C-alpha cells in the first residue's frame, strides 16, 4: 500500500498534523516511538492557550485523546531510515517498510544532558531543561543555570525577574552567546557568573537541594545550594534516520524548511523542534504541525489535478 502521507513522530507537531490529515480524508499513517515527544517532559505548562496551568504530561494526554477521536492509524516503531524511491518515499521502521507520496517529519529534538549523578533522579524534581515551562515554580528561590550560550543567557534574563538569585555555571572561561545578551546578563544584579566550573553532580533528598562543581582553575570541588537547576548545553534534533542523500539538514542536523514547512524536496515537510527554529515551544510546534499538514494536503491536491 502506498499512503498519501506518513507522519514521523507523535510529538505535539506530529499529532497536530495528524488531526488535519484525518479531517482532510487522507490515507495516512503515524509512525512514532512514543507519544508526546519532548513536550511530555515539561513540568508545569502555564503558557498554552486555554490551559492556565497544566502538567506537560496531562496536556499531551488531551492531545492524544483528541487524536484518537480522529484516527487509530498509529504504529509504535523506531524509524531507521527514510529514502526517496522515484517520486515516493520509502520508510524503514523495525522490520517493516512503508511507502508514501508525502512525508511530514515531526520527530522533535531532545535536550543535551550532562550525564552526571542526580540528573535523572531529580528531573521534574528541581532539574529542568525549560525555564519557560518550569520557571514560575521557583519564584523567590535560588536556582542555577548551566551553560554559557544564548539559550542559557535568555533563561537568565527571564528567570531573573522571577527567582531570588541565579548562579550561572559556565564550563568555559567566557560566555559564548551574542554580545547584547552577554552584556544584558552581566548587568543583572541577582546573577552570579561562575566561569570554568564543571558541574559534577546534583544532590538532595526527595527534591533537588544543590549541586557540586569542580573549579577547573584549582581543581577544588565546590557546592551551591539551590532549589532548581536549568540545563542549557544544546539540543539534539532527532534526524539520525535521515539519509544524507536527501540533503535537507543544516550544520546542526536540523531540517531546513520554508514558511510552508516544506523542505527543498517538494513532497517532504517537517515541523516542530526538529526544524531550524529559533523558538522551541509547544504552541509553536502545534501551529507548525497544522501548517505542514495543510501544505502536504495542498501538494497532493495539485498532483492529483495534473
Local confidence pLDDT in tens for the 306 residues of the chain? 899 999 999 989 999 999 999 999 999 999 999 888 877 766 667 788 998 888 778 899 999 999 988 877 899 999 999 999 888 999 999 889 999 999 999 999 888 999 999 999 999 999 998 887 789 999 999 999 999 998 899 899 989 999 999 999 999 999 988 899 899 999 999 999 999 999 999 999 999 999 999 999 999 999 999 999 999 998 889 999 998 889 999 999 999 999 999 999 999 999 999 999 877 788 999 999 999 999 999 999 998 766
Handedness of CA 107, 111, 114, 120 (dihedral sign): negative
113-231 maps to which CATH number? 3.50.50.60
Same CATH topology for 2-110+235-305 and 113-231: the answer is yes
CATH number of 2-110+235-305: 3.50.50.60
Residues in Cβ contact with 169 at an 8 Å cutoff, skipping those fewer than 6 apart: 144, 145, 146, 147, 194, 197, 199, 211, 213, 224
Estimate to the nearest angstrom the gap between the alpha carbon of 121 and the chain centroid.
20
Interior/surface letters 223-234, b for 16+ CB within 10 angstroms, e for the rest:
ebebbbbbbbbe
Q: What is the pTM of this model?
A: 0.77
Task: Tell me the three state secondary structure of residue 75.
Answer: strand
By the 8 A CB rule, do 232 and 129 touch? yes
- Rg over alpha carbons for the chain, rounded to the nearest Å, is 21
**Sequence ranges of the domains in the chain:** 2-110+235-305, 113-231
User: HSE of 24 in the Cβ direction (CA atoms, 13 Å)?
Assistant: 21
Reference 170, options 188, 157, 152; nearest CA is 152
Query: DSSP string spanning 165-220?
Result: EEEEE-SSSS--S-HHHHHHHHT-TTEEEE-SEEEEEEEESSSEEEEEEEETTT--
Amino acid at each position: 500500500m502506498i499512503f498519501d502521507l506518513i507522519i514521523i513522530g507523535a510529538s505535539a507537531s506530529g499529532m497536530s498534523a495528524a488531526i488535519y490529515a484525518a479531517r482532510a480524508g487522507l490515507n495516512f499513517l503515524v509512525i512514532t516511538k512514543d507519544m508526546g515527544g519532548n513536550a511530555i517532559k515539561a513540568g508545569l505548562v502555564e503558557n498554552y492557550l486555554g490551559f492556565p496551568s497544566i502538567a506537560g504530561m496531562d496536556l499531551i494526554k488531551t492531545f492524544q485523546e483528541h487524536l484518537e477521536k480522529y484516527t487509530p492509524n498509529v504504529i509504535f516503531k523506531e524509524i531507521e531510515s527514510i529514502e526517496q524511491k522515484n517520486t515516493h518515499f520509502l520508510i524503514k521502521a523495525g522490520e517493516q517498510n512503508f511507502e508514501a507520496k508525502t512525508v511530514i517529519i515531526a520527530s522533535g529534538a531532545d535536550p543535551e544532558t550532562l550525564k552526571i549523578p542526580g540528573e535523572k533522579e531529580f528531573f521534574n524534581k528541581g532539574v529542568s531543561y525549560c525555564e519557560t515551562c518550569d520557571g514560575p515554580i521557583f519564584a523567590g528561590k535560588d536556582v542555577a543555570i548551566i551553560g554559557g550560550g544564548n539559550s542559557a543567557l535568555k533563561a537568565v534574563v527571564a528567570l531573573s525577574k522571577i527567582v531570588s538569585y541565579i548562579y550561572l555555571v559556565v564550563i568555559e572561561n567566557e560566555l559564548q552567546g551574542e554580545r547584547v545578551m552577554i552584556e544584558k546578563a552581566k548587568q543583572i544584579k541577582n546573577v552570579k557568573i561562575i566561569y570554568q566550573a564543571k558541574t559534577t553532580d546534583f544532590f538532595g533528598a526527595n527534591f533537588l537541594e544543590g549541586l557540586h562543581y569542580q573549579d577547573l582553575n584549582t581543581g577544588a570541588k565546590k557546592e551551591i545550594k539551590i532549589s532548581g537547576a536549568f540545563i542549557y548545553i544544546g539540543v539534539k534534533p532527532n534526524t539520525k534516520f535521515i539519509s544524507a542523500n536527501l540533503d535537507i539538514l543544516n550544520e546542526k542536523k536540523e531540517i531546513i524548511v520554508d514558511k510552508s514547512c516544506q523542505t527543498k524536496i517538494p513532497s517532504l515537510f517537517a515541523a516542530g523542534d526538529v526544524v531550524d527554529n529559533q523558538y522551541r515551544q509547544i504552541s509553536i510546534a502545534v501551529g507548525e504541525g497544522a501548517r505542514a499538514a495543510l501544505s502536504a494536503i495542498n501538494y497532493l491536491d495539485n498532483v492529483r489535478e495534473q
